[in-house]
A and B are shown apart, each in its own frame.
Chain A
């Protein structure tokens, strides 16, 4: 665990993010940071606004207010709320998966991984024209793309099924393939919306392993997850939302001991929070309590 020691560089800074749908304030003045090289978990009860935050990050929603800055290691900065959809991935290098599986089910497993490498292939093929004529660096680029796809197939254990339609894979394999596909876009930040949902314990353990490896290879991970055992096991940093407001932010241990988090999860009334806080002897929300 990296812990919260020393100044660290943020890969994603969310500043004063608000998202309003008509009369509903889904996200209310939210600020947090995702540090480079961390696995950061965004947790909270149902309807807390976690997926809304993801949708703002990946350009599905234009935030009502606030700023989302993505910083590359070379110092380049991208304001995500101003980028069109495809540029969030292509230029800012953010990739994401969804709660429900969104593979291209009619395409083969390999094709799913190649689609994710579309932008470099298009450039190399001179926007198809040179590629059709067999000129330019297209062949080399295509070989490199297939090579990268092979590498990921090996990592997720699907090499044998490369030419099967993606829709025919079992559920757990589809989840892994989605992550591999996102990784084929070479993201700086990988956003995963409930990657462990519906996985059995063995698949869940495989997923944990895969995410650690992705982090260790240099991609920062931001994930929404309900399975607390997964969150506590792999996260370096946890941000807790409730009703669109951040109620805790810190290491898994600190967050777990935070009475407001306990209250949010156990459903304690607002008036009782103070009583609960007094019982636990709360002083600081970010204190390194517990663990």
Chain B
């Protein structure tokens, strides 16, 4: 029971990070029907921007207050990463719009390789640690010497995720931009004929996806305390899996998928073998897709004849 509760907390934390990244995949897929394979690497770039930000703030400027540093880093990382997302769409995807379906996909893989190699060359191949921050936490209960704890980091990650998701849901469901975005998802040409600038809407979608990935990046850095240039790949693929599992194109689906993947991974590591945790996560994906091809919350495409 104690172990179960502890793993539940750990799993939800990890799942929240996956969910934040997964939203970027699912939104981009929803609007242009393309899997943005570079999204995982955009997330990785954001962890490096955050790392550099933390180091500048703490060592050079000598800011001792962790919450202040965290807020500043978040405010700097989000726009910078969003700029990356915008630039990638502008340079690598927009010129290929209207080309055959595989072209932007190949381009995305190219961008992904470019980003990880760029960071490897610019920042070095070794793991980069940060000094531990925001240590400690609440002990929920203790039994037989096993304490179930909820760390401050985990609280922060979950709180930030919930707040962002609420804000994001409001943006998509209630604002003019959100309406335009949903309209473009359903019928881009019709949306253009109603005066919506489709290119700008797509750009903004990439910007938002990258900004959410940046939040995930800051939280990831805070949680694990170490990043490397190859960190884009595995979390990226997991988040993509989460998006597919939840039903690609569906925002709540992406978050739900992220939580499920996070939980499977941590529970498998705790009760079975840690080496096989990825095998477990991806097996569940395969099984779900065999029985529910459009994912848990995805709508089945009904072709009108």
Contacts and interface: CB of A to CB of B under 8 A. Distances in A.
Check if A and B associate: yes
Interface in A93-131: 95-96, 98, 102, 104-107, 111, 114-116, 118-119, 121-122, 125, 127-128, 131
Given A60-B189, A102-B187, A118 B195 contact: yes
Contact of B194 (A107, A142, A181): A181
A121 to B, nearest CB: 4
B171 interface: yes
Contacts of B180: 115, 118, 122
Contacts of B198: 85-86
B55 interface: no
A132 interface: yes
A115 B177 contact: no
B97 to A, nearest CB: 12
A132 B171 contact: yes
B182 A118 contact: no
**Band of interface residues on A:** 20 to 34
B196 A86 contact: yes
A251 interface: no
Interface string B188-213: 01111111111000000000000000
B237 interface: no
A102 B171 CA distance: 24
B179 A107 contact: yes
B175 interface: yes
Interface in B117-145: none
Contact of A116 (B177, B182, B195): B195
Contacts of A69: none
B197 A104 contact: no
Given A114-B176, A118-B176, A125-B176, A88 B193 contact: yes
Nearest to A107: B182
B179 A111 contact: yes
B195 A104 contact: no
A89 B176 contact: no
B183 interface: yes
A131 B175 contact: yes
Contacts of B175: 125, 128, 131-132
Given A111-B179, A118-B180, A105 B194 contact: no
B283 interface: no
Nearest to B196: A118
Contacts of A116: 194-195
B187 A95 contact: no
A95 B191 contact: no
A95 B195 CA distance: 9
A72 interface: no
A115 B193 contact: no
Interface in A125-175: 125, 127-128, 131-132, 142
A185 interface: yes
A102 B182 CA distance: 14
A100 B61 CA distance: 63
Contacts of A128: 171, 175-177
Contacts of A98: 190
A90 interface: yes
A96 B176 contact: no
18 contacts: A58-B193, A85-B198, A86-B193, A86-B198, A89-B192, A95-B193, A96-B193, A102-B187, A104-B190, A106-B182, A115-B183, A116-B195, A118-B176, A121-B176, A122-B176, A125-B175, A127-B177, A132-B171
Interface of B: 171, 175-177, 179-180, 182-183, 186-187, 189-198
Interface of A: 58, 60, 85-86, 88-90, 95-96, 98, 102, 104-107, 111, 114-116, 118-119, 121-122, 125, 127-128, 131-132, 142, 181-182, 185
Given A116-B194, A125-B176, 20 more contacts: A86-B198, A88-B193, A89-B192, A89-B195, A95-B194, A104-B187, A107-B179, A107-B182, A107-B183, A107-B186, A111-B179, A115-B183, A115-B194, A115-B196, A118-B183, A118-B194, A118-B196, A121-B176, A128-B171, A132-B175
Which 9 A/B pairs are nearest by Cβ-Cβ distance? A90-B195, A121-B176, A85-B192, A89-B195, A128-B177, A86-B192, A119-B195, A102-B190, A116-B194
